[in-house]
Amino acid sequence: MFISSNILPITYGLFFRHVQSVSVQGYLKCNDKPATDITVKLYDKDTFTFDDLMAKGKTDSNGYFKLSGSEKEMTKIDPELVIHNSCGSKLGKFSMKRIKVTIPKSYITNGPIPSKVFDIGTMELAGKIKT
């Protein structure tokens, strides 16, 4: 009885996970100019395991990015945008900042293709940002 009661939740999790997706877009600026070639990543934050990378990309010549990704989970995914940059640093690439943006649960879609996009608007990366 002990074994079956411990295996059932694991088995349920393996077979009854469902695909959920999310999309995020926005413009990044550095000192009021387009922040080009900035790495942006879309994660599903996990509590007991490593976070799942759902998508990654870079900003274009206008500082624009758009990421979409999906993940299979038993419970709702916890999507988070992570922006890696060195804007405003005198050390350049040797002093990277990491900014995290939590994506609201209302933007999660059941299924592999997101039905709406979370728009972060225009974000200025220069200066100090509390994370």
Q: Distance between CA atoms of 85 and 27, rounded to whole angstroms?
A: 14
Q: Return the percentage of the chain with pLDDT > 70, whole number.
A: 80
- Whether 96 shows a pLDDT value over 50: the answer reads yes
Pick the CATH number of 17-124 from 3.40.50.300, 2.60.40.3330, 3.40.1160.10, 3.10.200.10: 2.60.40.3330
- In the three-class reduction of DSSP (H, G, I as helix; E, B as strand; rest coil), residue 69 is classed as strand
Which residues have C-beta within 8 Å of that of residue 62, sequence separation ≥ 6?
A: 27, 34, 36
pTM tops 0.85:
no
Q: Provide the residue ranges of all domains of the chain, joining segments of one domain with +.
A: 17-124
Q: Distance between CA atoms of 44 and 59, rounded to whole angstroms?
A: 20
Confidence of residue 95 (pLDDT cuts 50, 70, 90): low
At 8 the pLDDT is 46
CB 43 within 8 A of CB 79: yes
Hunting for tokens 């979370």 — which residue is that? 118
- Whether 130 shows a pLDDT value over 70: the answer reads no
Q: Distance between CA atoms of 65 and 3, rounded to whole angstroms?
A: 48
